[in-house]
Amino acid sequence: MNSGRLEAFSDGVFAVAITLLALDLAVPHPGGPHHPSLTDQLSEHWPSFAAYLVSFLTIGIIWVNHHTLFNNIAHIDRPLLFLNLLMLFFVVSIPFVTTTFADYLRDGGFQASVAGAIYNGVFAGMGVSFALLFWWTIRHEHLKTALPPGAILTAVIRFGIGNVAYLAAVGVAFASPAAALLMSGLVAVYYVFEQTPRRNGPRGDPTTGDEQPQP
Amino acid sequence: MNSGRLEAFSDGVFAVAITLLALDLAVPHPGGPHHPSLTDQLSEHWPSFAAYLVSFLTIGIIWVNHHTLFNNIAHIDRPLLFLNLLMLFFVVSIPFVTTTFADYLRDGGFQASVAGAIYNGVFAGMGVSFALLFWWTIRHEHLKTALPPGAILTAVIRFGIGNVAYLAAVGVAFASPAAALLMSGLVAVYYVFEQTPRRNGPRGDPTTGDEQPQP
Amino acid sequence: MNSGRLEAFSDGVFAVAITLLALDLAVPHPGGPHHPSLTDQLSEHWPSFAAYLVSFLTIGIIWVNHHTLFNNIAHIDRPLLFLNLLMLFFVVSIPFVTTTFADYLRDGGFQASVAGAIYNGVFAGMGVSFALLFWWTIRHEHLKTALPPGAILTAVIRFGIGNVAYLAAVGVAFASPAAALLMSGLVAVYYVFEQTPRRNGPRGDPTTGDEQPQP
Amino acid sequence: MNSGRLEAFSDGVFAVAITLLALDLAVPHPGGPHHPSLTDQLSEHWPSFAAYLVSFLTIGIIWVNHHTLFNNIAHIDRPLLFLNLLMLFFVVSIPFVTTTFADYLRDGGFQASVAGAIYNGVFAGMGVSFALLFWWTIRHEHLKTALPPGAILTAVIRFGIGNVAYLAAVGVAFASPAAALLMSGLVAVYYVFEQTPRRNGPRGDPTTGDEQPQP
């Protein structure tokens, strides 16, 4: 059993979830007499755009990592299918938690904190289930190319940084929901730049930077 | 004619249907003066979250089984395309029946029973059409590896358990809609664990557990 | 340039369009004091369910035919990409015209006739653009296996029957919108059964019935 | 790392975005006593249909070009994944900006100009990020077949024409939003016909016209 269909199904879910994000940007149709202008609506809508950006980037990065991980997987088994399904469960939830967070962030207060905690909680769930996927593939020797111990340690540290940051953001949301959104945005930016060839240096091929699963 | 495109189209439908499920979780936007708080809405929304979980897991499992079945199919014919389309018809209906059931479950009463019966009826339709797909592939010798008679009997028993449970849940919905939801949840959990390598023991390779179509 | 990505993109569009159809089945959420019961809503909603069935089957069949046609295509060129895009334009419009037709069919009158004419007009557009796709592949010798003249004539007759029926249904919609819906349903059923191995007899392999492009 | 999954994920996003466009065509359900007729609504809705056509064609063309570009790419690296993600970011935004532009175009005035500027701004963003993708593949020698300098110059000119036109349309929107929509429609038509075999003449195979990346 190769990983072709697992990847196709996952790609479909990633693609639908990332595209549905933009549905939530919709501004109410004009028409009523006291209808706010588009410019007013867009400037009031900033939390929607900020949350859209962070969620888009986060789904994009998890797709890049999923792609890189499965590139090195020789065969899959049933537990792997279900661990992947667990991760997709969190991906599918992202459009919902993004809209909810954006809506309540505008109002502020305790409800915005709850929405922010749920938002970062879903990201933490996605991160942890991706780490489980990675752990299962190492543990059961599914990889085409075995990873050197150094690479595994590096991966564990990286997973740790993201997941600890998401969990911390759940707590931060109760002090400042906007700061919690900023934190998940910074995690996304970190994962974009962490993997560039230049910094990968000794761990991979400096030209392509994709010889190893890069979690 | 190989099964590549049938799988790609089916994966697309599974991916869209499973992702659309989460659209129904949306809580009304805040704004009005008497607007309920997010925490109140989330706690009132429990049937939506419970139904979302059950439907997500059910679509996930039918995808895993579809994947496993077509892994062992050597070629496809026109009736197989239409049997597959019949099964997808029920998959496509799941987001609709999930929302409807969740909405009416909150109110209770006879209308919730009707919604629960439709919900489990769609699951039964999906289960029966998947069994037809399996039967067609055995009957017309489309399989790469012929199944031993014991495996066929096991498969028939498993299909039977799921389909009988769904049909029973249609009836149970008129006594207790919540119990009917619980029943379809238990069927999903049963299908997750039924196929683990350990219990597959003598019927397949204990390491991967995916050598045979596992319906 | 092989047809892999054209098929993948088309499969995506088919899958999203067929799944979005069911979004339109949604009944209004309960809650208000004078809210109609679910059973009342479902029985009033019959045009939605009938139109959903016809549209689902029509998209399903066009997918089966697309699949069969491209199975026999050796290479693709730029005009083929755009003819395929033209056909997808009509596929993408189907969820919109289905909802609109279903909504207005309930009210009846001239507005229902207009909606029915648009609905069948989109089906006719899809049928004609599929015929153009087929014609282009014959005309420019893209096929892996050349078709015997008899098969081409048969194909032309079949395309003709469907497209003439759709165009007739545009007119019939002004006499009876429900009859127009019935007509497009009958065209779909015709295309399901027209291709069964038994009736294909002398034109193809009676076992699989898929040796030739079956438009 | 080959480009298979990058293409599959991108195809998914293109397919979902192009299909979601039609969701915005929905006319309000009939029912109320003063409800406008379908024919009135459809004629008032012309900006929605015009914007739908332009956006459909634009996404279709960018897909054709993406397909052609990646047909000639031998391997991909991490920066390419992120440049592709940047381009998809704009693709995902298209359904939102299309609805917004269509809604405000009907009202006219300054708000329609802002909506038109955003609409063409997103198209410009998509065009520029596609040009970056192309530039990266030339610069880092990812191509299977190196391009002759003449082809590169031709490509740069073509990218230039589209992107300059989109940026000009951002400005034109403040004079006439409808003219800005017309401009992006003309760019789309230009890209359809620019690549036909006849005019490709000396630069490619006149039969298929797809031997080179056609940006």
ipTM: 0.84
Looking at residue B165, what is its pLDDT?
93
Could you report the per-residue pLDDT of D54-67, keeping only the tens digit for each?
999 999 999 998 98
Looking at residue D29, what is its pLDDT?
63
Q: Which residue has the higher pLDDT, D99 or D199?
A: D99
- Residue B45 φ then ψ, to 5°: -80, 10
As a whole number of angstroms, the distance between CA D91 and CA A47 comes to 21
- Residue A73 φ then ψ, to 5°: -100, 125
Would you call B31 exposed, middle or buried from its count of C-beta atoms within 10 A (0-12, 13-18, 19+)?
exposed
Would you call C215 exposed, middle or buried from its count of C-beta atoms within 10 A (0-12, 13-18, 19+)?
buried
Could you report the per-residue pLDDT of B129-183, keeping only the tens digit for each?
999 998 888 876 666 777 777 778 888 888 888 899 999 999 999 999 999 999 9
B70 to chain A: which residues are within 8 Å by CB?
A: 5
Q: Which of A28, A47, A48, A46 is nearest to A38 (CA)?
A: A28
pLDDT bucket at D195, cuts 50 / 70 / 90: low
Taking every pair of Cα atoms in chain C, the longest distance, rounded to a whole number of angstroms, is 67
Would you call A199 exposed, middle or buried from its count of C-beta atoms within 10 A (0-12, 13-18, 19+)?
exposed
Whether residue A208 contacts residue D1, with contact meaning beta carbons closer than 8 Å, is answered with yes
DSSP-derived letter for residue B211 is S
Q: Which amino acid is at C73?
A: I
Model confidence at D204: pLDDT above 60 = no
Looking at residue C135, what is its pLDDT?
86
- Residue C196 φ then ψ, to 5°: -65, 145
Model confidence at C120: pLDDT above 80 = yes
Write out the DSSP string of C108-127.
-HHHHHHHHHHHHHHHHHHH
Q: How far is CA B157 from CA A13, B76, B136, B137, B141, in A?
A: 32, 25, 17, 17, 21
Model confidence at B114: pLDDT above 90 = yes
Say yes or no for a CB contact (<8 Å) between D15 and B12: yes
Could you report the per-residue pLDDT of C59-73, keeping only the tens digit for each?
999 999 898 888 878
- Domain borders along chain C are 4-22+39-203
Say yes or no for a CB contact (<8 Å) between C100 and D208: no
Q: How confident is the model over A104-126, as a mean pLDDT? A: 91
Which range (A36-50, A103-117, C149-163, C193-207) has the least confidence?
Answer: C193-207
A210 to chain D: which residues are within 8 Å by CB?
A: 1, 77-78
Say yes or no for a CB contact (<8 Å) between A21 and D92: yes
Contacts 24+ apart (CB under 8 A), B195-198: B195/A78, B196/A78, B196/A79, B197/A77, B197/A78
As a whole number of angstroms, the distance between CA B165 and CA B184 comes to 8
Nearest CA-CA distance, residue C103 and chain D, Å: 6
Could you report the per-residue pLDDT of D85-94, keeping only the tens digit for each?
999 999 999 9
Looking at residue A136, what is its pLDDT?
87
Chain B residues whose C-beta is within 8 A of a chain C C-beta are 1, 5-6, 8-9, 11-13, 15-17, 20, 75, 77-79, 81-82, 85, 88-89, 92-93, 95-96, 99-100, 103-104, 106-107, 111, 114-115
Nearest CA-CA distance, residue B135 and chain D, Å: 31
Q: What residues contact residue B45 under an 8 Å CB cut-off, 6+ apart?
A: B25, B27, B102
Looking at residue D31, what is its pLDDT?
59
Could you report the per-residue pLDDT of A8-47, keeping only the tens digit for each?
899 999 999 999 998 878 776 665 555 678 888 888 888 8
Three-class secondary structure of residue D153 per DSSP: helix
Q: How far is CA D39 from CA C51, D25, D45, in A?
A: 20, 14, 10
Average pLDDT, chain A: 82
Say yes or no for a CB contact (<8 Å) between D82 and A63: no
Angle at alpha carbon of residue D171, lines to D168 and D177, rounded to 5°: 105
Closest-CA residue in chain B for C212? B1
Q: What residues contact residue D123 under an 8 Å CB cut-off, 6+ apart?
A: D58, D90, D166, D169, D184, D187
Size of interface B-D (CB pairs under 8 A): 4
Query: CA torsion sign, D126 to A97 to B15 to C95?
Result: negative
Looking at residue A205, what is its pLDDT?
40
Looking at residue B28, what is its pLDDT?
67
Q: Which residue has the higher pLDDT, A78 or B207?
A: A78
D210 to chain C: which residues are within 8 Å by CB?
A: 1, 76-78
Which residue, chain included where needed, has tokens 């065969």?
A75
Mutate to test the interface with A, among D1, D2, D9 (most CBs of A within 10 A): D9
Chain C residues whose C-beta is within 8 A of a chain D C-beta are 1, 5-6, 8-9, 11-13, 15-17, 20, 75-79, 81-82, 85, 88-89, 92-93, 95-96, 99-100, 103-104, 106-107, 111, 114-115
Looking at residue D34, what is its pLDDT?
57
Note if the pTM is more than 0.95.
no
Chain D residues whose C-beta is within 8 A of a chain B C-beta are 12, 15-16
pLDDT bucket at C142, cuts 50 / 70 / 90: low
Return the number of other C-beta atoms located less than 10 Å from residue D146's C-beta.
Answer: 11
Could you tell me where the DSSP H helices lie in D21-109?
38-44, 46-71, 78-107
Nearest by CB: D71 against C1, C77, C99: C1
Q: How confident is the model over D121-125, as a mean pLDDT? A: 96
Closest-CA residue in chain B for A79? B196
Model confidence at B64: pLDDT above 70 = yes
Q: In this structure, what token pair is assigned to residue C171?
A: 């007119």
pLDDT bucket at B215, cuts 50 / 70 / 90: very low
Model confidence at B201: pLDDT above 50 = no
Mutate to test the interface with C, among A9, A16, A19 (most CBs of C within 10 A): A16
Per the document, the length of chain A is 215
Angle at alpha carbon of residue D178, lines to D175 and D183, rounded to 5°: 90
